[in-house]
Amino acid sequence: MKHWFSYRGFRIRLFKRYLLRNWGLGLSVPFLIVLGFYHFVVTYPYFRNFHEWKEWTVYIQPVLVSLFAIGLSTVFSFGVIRRSELKDGFFMRRKKMEMLARYMFSNNIIERKEVKTEKGKREKLSFPKAYYRSLGDRDIFTFATGNKFHNQVISLGKTLSEMYLADLTKINWEMGYISYEFLMNNEGKRINFEQVIAENGKITLMQGVVWEYDKLPHMLIVGGTGGGKTYFIYSLLYALTKEGRVHLADPKKADLAEFSNFKAFKGLVCHEKSDIISMMEEAEQLMDKRYLYMKRQKNYTIGKNYRYYNMKPEFVVIDELAAFVSTLKGMEYEKFFSYVIPLVLKARQAGVFLIFATQRPDVDTLPGAVRDNLMCRVTAGRVSPTGYDMAFPDSKDKAFVNKDIVGRGYIDIGSGIPIEFFSPLVSKNFDFVDYFQKLPSMPFTDVTDIELTVEAKQEVNEFYDEIEDFEADFVDNVKTEIIQEQVKKKEENINKLMAKANVPVSYREKLNKES
């Protein structure tokens, strides 16, 4: 149905390149008014009757008051704007308009017109018609077509998706305009608890978000109290216990300690410091034994992982890692990480995977050699800026937004690009205790018959030397493949949306060649 008037949103104009700066100055005005009033009431009367202008000490108070007021106004303005950005509020929308204005200016999407003045001629600059509109979890960017920037604006879908780290969901092409609609909130991709499936070395965590642990091993989960971290771990256990065997450690004797009462987890749960260290030692030994098991198979092939030999994976989950590490003293700390480091570096092919959960992933909790090799990173709930920097060290320029939604956070499945994430939704009627109590024995590959003799250990070490370079190259290649696959999916999605919007085939082919 056609309307007399269509509201397209806020018009993007040249001055919006400095929108946040201008708003910052605007928020400072009340402080400047108070400062002016102070100088009018106090400073001006004093200097009006003062004649010793060379006495420098008389300037100290007015200068200090001015500096204090300006500094306070700057901190206040920055704080208000930054807080709004982190809450995805008013100033985040202004930031998006500013980003678009800067993009258009830097890419010369500008109309130039000569106008006559009393002094001659001058060039007047303006943007062609472009609009931004926010509709809750959706953002719509609209551009005028049929002008000299026609070819540029009809190919902006991919660029805008990358700029705003959002999913393009719809392209609407009408006479004179093209609109791009983006999903800025991934909550619509959230899956139910029962839909979390682990199979063939992959686990589905959200629609379109799959962690391939066989290729990009080990996970780091960061989340504070009440953020949904525990329920996310439950979701992982729900799926992983069907795929292989899970070992649990809960140093705080909290949520995971209860699993020691469940038949399926008998002998696989610990919470005492010495037991957790022993668990990691056994995990390293398990890795060695599994490699020996693989090497002794008739069909042994260099480069093939545990799955090639029909082996089941092993998962080691430690909750509240920071609390545990803080209790380690001297040699205990060295001993614990002497088991962890070989596992994060070498355990992928053997099918032994680590999952660490913590409230703070600082250097003391996770040394760089460990954290850098935890390929999948997840946050749940509210996390401090420092926490985001530690969880996603390669994405310090990204604006991470905290929202009061349980289970919401960010995830990087190994590509180096964190995206908004919503952990699986758990029904209020679902009883975890009842489910895990009834859980049958977890599948596993028995390697207890293999002895780690001196000769066997030497054989394993030689094997590690063989695969060391292969492992590093393998992970790097997988990262590249995942990034390329994500780009391909985005391009395919854009092509589908453009076809749906009746964009001419000639344009689509041209855009594909340019990209």
Residues 417, 400: contact at Cβ < 8 Å? no
Query: Average pLDDT of the chain?
Result: 86
**Same domain, yes or no: 97 and 111:** no
Residues 306 and 211 in one domain: yes
- Name 368's Cβ contacts closer than 8 Å, sequence gap at least 6: none
Pairing between strand 269-270 and 245-249?
A: parallel
Cα–Cα distance measured from residue 411 to residue 416, given in angstroms and rounded to the nearest whole number: 10
On whether both 261 and 383 belong to a single domain, the answer is yes
Residues 170 and 146 placed together within one structural domain of the fold: yes
The helix-helix angle for 90-106 and 157-164 (nearest 10°) equals: 130
- Is the pLDDT confidence value at 321 over 60? yes
Domain stops at, among 104, 122, 138: 104
Residue 125 pairs in a beta bridge with: 112
Residue 7 falls inside a structural domain: no
Q: Which pLDDT value is given to residue 501?
A: 66
> 250: pLDDT confidence band, cut at 50, 70 and 90?
very high
> In angstroms, what CA-CA distances link 93 with 9, 54, 143, 166, 399?
12, 51, 18, 14, 13
178 and 303 both lie in a single domain: no
Residues 324 and 399 in one domain: yes
Choose one of 76, 104, 132: the last residue of a domain: 104
The boundaries of the domain holding residue 88 are 12-104
pLDDT in tens, 192-242: 988 999 999 999 999 888 999 999 999 999 987 778 898 999 999 999 999
Does the pLDDT of residue 1 top 50, yes or no?
no
191 assigned to some structural domain: no
CA angle 214, 225, 428 (to 5 degrees): 80
One domain for residues 20 and 81: yes
Among candidates 243, 246, 247, which has minimal Cα distance to 202? 243
Q: Binding site residues for ATP, as ranges?
A: 223-230
Domain boundary among 452, 469, 501: 452
Contacts of 214 (CB under 8 A, 6+ apart): 200, 201, 202, 305, 307, 313, 348, 351
Residue 356 lies in a domain: yes
Domain tally for the chain? 3
Both 146 and 162 in a single domain?
yes
At 231, the amino acid letter reads: Y
| pLDDT beyond 80 at 507 | no
CA gap 152, 111 in Å, rounded: 14
CATH of the domain at 121: 3.30.70
* Residue 467, in any domain of the structure: no
Residue 474: the pLDDT is 73
> What is the token pair recorded at 256?
């995971």
User: In this predicted structure, what is the pLDDT of residue 502?
Assistant: 65
Higher model confidence: residue 509 or residue 83? 83
The whole-number pLDDT of residue 513 equals: 55
Residue 289 has phi, psi (to 5 degrees) of -65, -40
Write down the pLDDT at residue 268: 95
Is 274's pLDDT higher than 90? Answer: yes
Q: Tell me: do 496 and 351 sit in the same domain.
A: no
**List of residues 6+ apart from 226 with CB closer than 8 A:** 381, 406
Rounded to two decimals, what is the model's pTM?
A: 0.72
CA-CA distance, 360 to 391, in Å (whole number)? 9
The residue that leads in pLDDT, 47 or 172, is 172
Tell me, what's the pLDDT at 67?
A: 93
Q: What pLDDT score does 245 carry?
A: 97
Closest CA to 378 of 424, 345, 443: 424
pLDDT digits (tens, 9 = 90+) for 59-112: 788 889 999 999 999 999 999 998 888 777 899 999 999 999 999 999 999 999
Cβ partners under 8 Å of residue 170, min gap 6:
179, 180, 181, 497, 501
216 and 298 both lie in a single domain: yes
Q: Band the pLDDT of 157: cuts 50, 70, 90.
A: confident
pLDDT (tens digit, 9 = 90+) per residue, 362-383? Answer: 888 888 889 888 999 999 988 8
Per-residue confidence (pLDDT) for residue 75, from 0 to 100: 94
% of the chain surpassing 90 pLDDT:
48
Is residue 475 one of the residues assigned to a domain?
no
CATH number at residue 251: 3.40.50.300
- Averaged pLDDT for residues 257-284: 93
190 found inside a domain: no
Residue 82 resides in a domain: yes
In this structure, of 190-204, 307-321, 394-408, the range with the lowest mean pLDDT score is 394-408
- List residues forming the annotated binding site: 223-230
Q: Would you say residue 3 lies in a domain? A: no
Q: How far apart are CA 234 and CA 432, in angstroms?
A: 8
3-state secondary structure at position 416: coil
Judge if 408 and 496 occupy the same domain. Answer: no
Specify the pLDDT at position 339.
Answer: 95
Is the same domain home to 296 and 211? yes
